[in-house]
């Protein structure tokens, strides 16, 4: 980008979460002459980033942090100092779905973005480039500008950029090393274009220039919501087809394969499953629904809402299949839940389908034993407990236990339900013969992630029920 622009020497990232932490650690590793300080209000999280036990699990993250930490990468709770020193500030705070009031359940709660922006306005003593890294509704940059202009000294210039993050948890480091594209949205003004060029230089430390795309600010904001909505839509489309497969004898893996060979469709993101989870897909689609409604586009809102509704239906449908195969009752039965994270290679459980399934099994009065290789036990209790309900955790613990390994989880169980596609659960890794011996008979496996060779496991004696294939029992 050949226009005069400032060379960035100091970066601050507000928010040391799943996005801010890995993204800015990679930026620091690849730009050794730029000082990168990641700040957060959560002192426990910052202490963990400064320890050998990082607060999030991502393959390859430890090495990146170890190379740069203490050299040009710093983690701190001193938000003011981070802002003061930086030329460029990433805002990478959480943007959850609003849970109370008008728009509850749909709109994004931008309170964290607002308070981070107010803090920048209050503390800044020199010009800053402020970068939206969080996923935000279209035109959030305008609201941020109003806060900055109304609260900061008039001699300070702020340029606001949109730079949405496309990393996926579980593959964050390789996604950051080899991104499909880096988007930078700016106002079409001289200073907007110059700020975009400054940020582009940071990414050019390792990303080929032709993959760094600059565009209009609002397009960039909307592109992130659009990309997540389209990805989730593919999953809901294939899951909707899985229901037809189960009723007709078609096999969803074969249908996905056939469709994916069409170069206009492509093979990725066509895997049927018990449903998508994670902190982003549902939130971002609901955000799009809310945006459409507030723009008086009810048909558009209904269209996108259906993607989320199909996802909920898939979880209910799968649960009903478990119940009906187990003689229409789960009362007193033991269900082993394999995997609690929303996908493999992460310890993140936000919106994990496993939470919904375990809650359905609890309603049906089953006993549930959960095994996940990365999810902390305390996280499971938090996810299964209604906030504010006294003694709820004790009630949950009467029905739910955490196992140290899959063999313990399945011991004495009537059924295994695979909720996460961890490689650890594959029939090439786990000893399913040993598991079978320890289970009640008939022993069922419900493969909610299509990771097993059903025929192979059936030979052991299991009854295997798989999403997208007709019932075998």
**Residues near ligand NAD, by CB under 6 A:** 14-20, 39-42, 45, 79, 92-95, 112, 115-116, 134-135, 165, 167, 169, 279-280
Nearer to ligand NAD, 89 or 336 (CB): 89
Q: Per DSSP, what are the bridge partners of residue 334?
A: 367
**β-strand pairing of 415-418 with 35-39:** unpaired
Instruction: Identify the CA nearest to 107 among candidates 286, 304, 295.
Output: 286
Return the closest-CA partner of residue 78 out of 40, 107, 123: 40
Pick between residue 287 and residue 292 the one whose CB is nearest to ligand NAD.
Answer: 287
Shortest separation between residue 182's beta carbon and ligand NAD, angstroms: 13
**In the Cβ-directed half-sphere of 469, how many Cα atoms lie within 13 Å?**
17
- CB 380, min distance to ligand NAD, A: 18
C-beta of 219 vs 399, nearer to ligand NAD: 219
Torsion of CA 229, 172, 451, 366, to 10 degrees: -80
Burial 83-101 (b: 16+ CB within 10 A, else e): beebbbbbbbbbbebbeee
How many CA atoms within 13 Å lie on the side-chain side of 345? 12
Q: How far is CA 433 from CA 170, 405, 441, in A?
A: 29, 15, 13
Largest separation between any pair of C-alpha atoms in the chain: 76
**In the complex with ligand NAD, which residue's Cβ is closer, 41 or 250?**
41
When the beta carbons of 133 and 463 are compared against ligand NAD, the nearer one is 133
Nearer to ligand NAD, 159 or 169 (CB): 169
**6 exposure class (CB count in 10 Å sphere: 0-12, 13-18, 19+):** middle
For 289, phi then psi, to 5°, come to -65, -45
Task: For residues 12 and 405, give the distance between their C-alpha atoms in angstroms, rounded to a whole number.
Answer: 41
Q: How far is the CB of 240 from ligand NAD (least distance, A)?
A: 25
Question: What are the residue numbers of the active site?
Answer: 280
Total residues found in the chain within this entry: 473
- Smallest gap from Cβ 283 to ligand NAD, in A, equals 6
With H, G, I as helix, E, B as strand and everything else as coil, classify residue 317: helix
171 vs 191, beta carbon nearer ligand NAD: 171
CA distances from 250 to 255, 406, 463 (A): 8, 31, 19
What is residue 261's DSSP assignment?
T
């Amino acid at each position: 980008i050949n226009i005069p622009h400032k060379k960035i020497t100091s970066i601050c990232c507000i928010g040391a979460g799943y996005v801010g932490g890995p993204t800015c650690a990679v930026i620091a590793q690849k730009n050794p002459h730029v000082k990168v300080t990641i700040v957060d209000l959560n002192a426990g999280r910052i202490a963990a980033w400064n320890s050998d036990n990082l607060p999030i699990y991502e393959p390859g993250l430890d090495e990146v942090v170890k190379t740069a930490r203490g050299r040009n990468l710093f983690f701190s709770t001193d938000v003011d100092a981070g802002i003061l020193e930086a030329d460029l500030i990433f805002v990478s705070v959480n943007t959850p779905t609003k849970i109370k009031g008008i728009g509850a359940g749909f709109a994004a709660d931008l309170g964290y973005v607002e308070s981070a922006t107010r803090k920048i306005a209050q503390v800044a003593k020199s010009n800053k480039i402020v970068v939206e890294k969080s996923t935000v509704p279209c035109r959030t940059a305008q609201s941020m500008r109003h806060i900055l202009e109304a609260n900061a000294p008039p001699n300070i210039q702020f340029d606001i950029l949109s730079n949405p993050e496309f990393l996926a948890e579980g593959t964050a480091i390789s996604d950051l090393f080899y991104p499909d594209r880096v988007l930078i949205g700016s106002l079409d003004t001289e200073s907007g274009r110059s700020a975009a060029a400054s940020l582009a230089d940071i990414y050019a430390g390792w990303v080929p220039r032709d993959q760094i795309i600059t565009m209009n600010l609002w397009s960039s904001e909307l592109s992130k919501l659009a990309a997540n909505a389209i990805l989730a839509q593919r999953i809901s489309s294939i899951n909707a087809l899985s229901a037809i497969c189960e009723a007709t004898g078609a096999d969803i893996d074969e249908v996905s394969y056939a469709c994916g060979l069409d170069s206009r469709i492509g093979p990725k993101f066509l895997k049927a499953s018990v449903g998508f989870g994670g902190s982003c897909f549902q939130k971002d689609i609901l955000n799009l629904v809310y945006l459409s409604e507030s723009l008086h586009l009810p048909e558009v809102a209904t269209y996108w809402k259906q993607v989320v509704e199909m996802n909920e239906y898939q979880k209910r449908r799968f649960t009903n299949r478990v119940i009906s195969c187990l003689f229409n009752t789960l009362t007193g039965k033991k269900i082993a839940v394999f995997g609690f994270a929303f996908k493999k290679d992460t310890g993140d459980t936000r919106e994990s389908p496993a939470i919904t399934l375990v809650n359905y099994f609890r309603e049906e009065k089953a006993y549930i034993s959960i095994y996940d290789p990365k999810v902390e036990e305390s996280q499971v209790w938090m996810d299964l407990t209604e906030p504010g309900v006294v003694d709820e955790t004790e009630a949950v613990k009467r029905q739910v236990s955490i196992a140290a390994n899959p063999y313990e989880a399945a011991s004495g169980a009537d059924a295994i339900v695979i909720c996460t596609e961890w490689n650890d659960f594959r029939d090439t890794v786990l000893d399913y013969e040993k598991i079978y011996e320890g289970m009640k008979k008939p022993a069922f496996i419900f493969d909610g992630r299509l990771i097993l060779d059903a025929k192979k496991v059936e030979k052991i004696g299991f009854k295997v029920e798989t999403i997208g294939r007709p019932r075998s029992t």
